Amino acid sequence: MRLEDRQEPYTGYTIQYIYGVDGIIGFHIGDIYYYYQKNLQGDVVELIRYVPSHDDKQLVATYVYDAWGNHKVLNPDGTENTDSSFIGNKNPIRYRSYYYDVETGLYYLKTRYYDPRTGRFISPDSADYLDPSMISGMNLYAYCLNNPVMYSDEFGQMPEWAKWIVGGLAVAGLVVATVLTCGVAGAGAATVGAAMLTGGIVSGGINAIDQLSDGVEFDFMELAIATLSGTAYGAVIGLTGGSGVWAVTGKFAVAGGTSLLNSWNDNAEIGETIKSLGVNLLFSGIAQGAGYLAGKYAPQLMSKIIPKNPNHLLTMGDIGSVLWNIPAVKTGGIRLVSGIFGSIINDF
């Protein structure tokens, strides 16, 4: 636990903030402690007063928000309280655990101020974050790519999902760089890296096409989950060769993890989450069985039904067998088929 003193200009006294492993968790003034109750998005929804000498805990204030951070401060009975001396109004940590400036009505996000009334920052972001490929990518004043329900922006620079993608690309780039510079990883890293990149690109591409074809609002978190899933699947293929106990276990783990992440992203109820998990694990088993049969019998079957080329040197089956044994090709093919059948299942 970490403590931080701050002199708040509108209170006239010092507030000592309390930090835990998940960030700020409360504050205390003198001998009275106040702790935050937060929702899953990090909004402070309740303020609990605790007096250690009396071991007394009491709800003293609650907060309600819209998607953009406009909010009201309420008494425990649900009535609004606008009195500046009320502890609920003195507490500046509110929406997404951002610091709220009561004098200006703006949130301080470490590098910029955000105005919830307009849903925009009051100053532009760095030009480094311009992204012409996205509809909102050219607006340097936009908050969370105009999607505050799914994203947060603690530092006023980019939504959290973008950091995950950047981190994933950095890892993939490190693998590729190691191979290209003849690092210690050698050919093994090349195989794993190629499989990861192929899986991520194919899976992310399928998801993007699927979303665009549906004509609904584009969900970047869903895209990130699909890309992460494909990358993880590629890692399993690259590390295990796509067969064996560890390969089967890894594929089931990726399928289950992807299902749970998608359910979380959709705010699904527990029943729907379990149902989706079961369907995805079942489909993973079917896909693995089909992949095994295809890898074992497809090249021989192609050799019989497709005639040899004029030079009688290679058959199409031979070519198919060689291609199928390349992890990147195998990963891309399996993810392509999985994506198509996954979309069909989701439609039901």
Q: What is the DSSP letter of 80?
A: B
Instruction: Write out pLDDT tens, residues 223-248.
Output: 888 888 888 877 877 777 666 778 78
Instruction: Write out pLDDT tens, residues 21-60.
Output: 888 999 988 889 999 999 988 999 999 999 888 888 999 9
Q: Which residues of the chain have pLDDT under 50?
A: 161, 163, 166, 169-170, 173-187, 308-319, 322, 345-348
Q: What is the DSSP letter of 44?
A: E
pLDDT given at position 7: 59
Helix (H, G, I), strand (E, B), or coil: what is residue 94?
Answer: coil
Euclidean distance between CA atoms 251 and 236, whole angstroms: 7
pLDDT given at position 287: 73
CA angle, corner 326, sides to 324 and 329, nearest 5? 70
Place of tokens 């925009």: 120
Helix (H, G, I), strand (E, B), or coil: what is residue 71?
Answer: strand
Q: 34 forms bridges with which residues in the sheet?
A: 27, 49
**HSE of 121 in the Cβ direction (CA atoms, 13 Å)?**
23
**HSE of 254 in the Cβ direction (CA atoms, 13 Å)?**
30
- Could you tell me which residues come within 8 angstroms of residue 240 by beta carbon, excluding any fewer than 6 positions away? 246, 247, 250
CA angle, corner 198, sides to 196 and 204, nearest 5? 100
pLDDT given at position 334: 56
**The overall pTM is greater than 0.75:** no
pLDDT given at position 13: 67
Q: How far is CA 210 from CA 216, 258, 294, 309, 336, in A?
A: 10, 17, 26, 38, 12
pLDDT given at position 275: 83
Euclidean distance between CA atoms 157 and 109, whole angstroms: 9
